[in-house]
A = this chain, B = another copy of it.
Amino acid sequence: MLSTERYAYCGLRSTLGVVAMRQISSFATGEWLGPGAGAKPISSAITGNVIAEVGNDALNVQSMQDYARDVGGPSLRTLTFHDRARMLKAIALHLKKYRKILYEISFDTGATQSDHLMDIDGGIGTMLVYASKGRREMPDTCVYLDGPPEQLGRLSNFMGQHVCTPLQGAALHINAYNFPVWGMLEKLAPTLLAGMPAIIKPATSTSYVTECCVRLIIESGLLPKGALQLISGNIGDLLNHLDCQDVVTFTGSEKTGLMLRSNPNLLANSIRFTAEQDSLNAIVLGPDVTKKMPEFDLFIDEIEREITAKAGQKCTAIRRIMVPSNRVDETIKALSNRLTRTRIGDPRDPKTNMGALVSNEQKSDVLAKTALIGAEAERVFGNPDDFTMMKSKGAFLPPMLFYCANPDGASNLHKVEAFGPVSTIMPYRNIEHASELLNRGKGSLVASVITHDTDVAKDITVSSAAFHGRLYFNNRDSMSDATGQQSVQLRFMEGYILTIVIV
């Protein structure tokens, strides 16, 4: 049971049982600043009631940038990679100690305890992975030598050496609502390890969880001043002040990504910008897999988890399910059987295995997107107008499975991401056709391939690796050890190709 004291630690004005309106603060130039003009209400995903308010139009974002650059950066740059790695480990262990506070506050986002393990423990785990890599793979110095020296002249007295030194600006991380803790920590860990200060801007709807996590970090006293700041609310005109030493990352919708990327100042100064936006991830059942093979059950397991975990609100969730034409019926049957055991409800109830979407706005968005998918595919499981939590004021939805007989003729299926418990089955003729369908996602975070045939894995790697952040192969030999296609440990692989070696 959490004590009032711990709530107070998190800056929440509450007593046990009665939670007052939460005032979500920003942490700017070393001070906590509560909401002011421009504050917006945040509703509980479970009840629809307003539980918090966030935002302060008076926040001086430019002074935050100056503080990061002039105070945070210089302090971090005096530390070696090993110093920074030790600092990350200490922060992660501190968060681990107090993680129950984060669990408790996260239920209102609609997340179950099992979802918390992904977001909160997953975030802490990612930070530990970076800490470990920092100690094992980087030097105990401030400069990283990248590869061996190269002889450039005819003799060996003129040599070249790639080196990496920290950028001297700030990293602005604009995060998505679905992983308020992990989403921050997975970016913060490499930023701090590299010796750069960070300014975090969480998505409004779950910003109260991020704020609580930032409080835990700041109050641990483990970070130098200026290394971490938080904007709860609007970033104002911060993008217009950034320069060539700053970095912007964004996780969220394609529409917002395009707006940010098109900022005239970012373009004029070639400011480093990385976005992770709408992704039409897929899973392929290998043509070698029959219903009696252990790979078939593994395939169904993976899909069930990807549809129901976080109520499908994961950037890596499977949106497209590709099966050989002759496996369509048994796939629909097996998945439907499995999804009937989904227990939707209050995420605080231990029997619940799928919680709510983050908000009713998000629920409406998912329904609008499933209507687009429904124009090209038939719904074969789940009915948003007839399910257990239908009458709740919370943002609940049932898992929904679609089937599209003609994926070549479809368009929405390959570009519209319904960011909820929604996925579509489609038949393929051969591996070449499966790769074509995969690649119609035009650059997805991940594709999973369940096969026990090494040639299938090789063919898909050659045909589709260039279109994916990673490829995830799994089968009977690796399944006991596999971490799942969304695994947090895999995230540092982004931008590369991950393949699981089938030996």
Contacts and interface: CB of A to CB of B under 8 A. Distances in A.
A261 B269 contact: no
A244 B497 contact: no
Contacts of A168: 439, 466-467
A393 to B, nearest CB: 37
Interface residues on A, range: 35 or more
B244 A442 contact: yes
Interface stretch (A146-154, A224-232, A419-427): A146-154
Nearest to A257: B270
A160 interface: yes
Contacts of A439: 168
A153 B152 CA distance: 41
Contacts of A152: 483, 487, 489-490
A244 B414 CA distance: 14
B267 A275 contact: no
A500 B501 CA distance: 39
Contact of A499 (B160, B275, B490): B160
A415 B299 CA distance: 57
A163 B496 contact: yes
A499 B160 CA distance: 6
A443 interface: yes
A245 interface: yes
Contacts of A466: 165-168, 245
A256 interface: no
A270 B262 contact: no
Contacts of A465: 163, 165
Q: Which of A158, A161, A442, A477 has the most CB of B within 10 A?
A: A158
Nearest to A259: B267
Interface in A257-289: 258, 261-262, 267-270, 275
Contacts of A154: 481
A466 B153 CA distance: 25
A317 to B, nearest CB: 20
A499 B161 contact: yes
Contacts of A143: 461-462
A22 to B, nearest CB: 36
A272 to B, nearest CB: 11
A243 interface: yes
A268 B262 CA distance: 9
Interface of A: 142-143, 146, 149, 152-155, 157-168, 243-245, 258, 261-262, 267-270, 275, 439, 442-443, 461-462, 465-467, 477-478, 480-483, 487, 489-490, 493, 496-501, 503
21 contacts: A143-B461, A149-B501, A152-B487, A152-B489, A153-B478, A153-B482, A157-B478, A157-B481, A158-B500, A159-B500, A160-B500, A161-B498, A161-B499, A162-B498, A163-B465, A163-B499, A164-B497, A166-B466, A245-B466, A269-B442, A270-B443
Closest 6 CB pairs of A and B: A153-B481, A158-B481, A162-B496, A165-B465, A155-B481, A163-B497
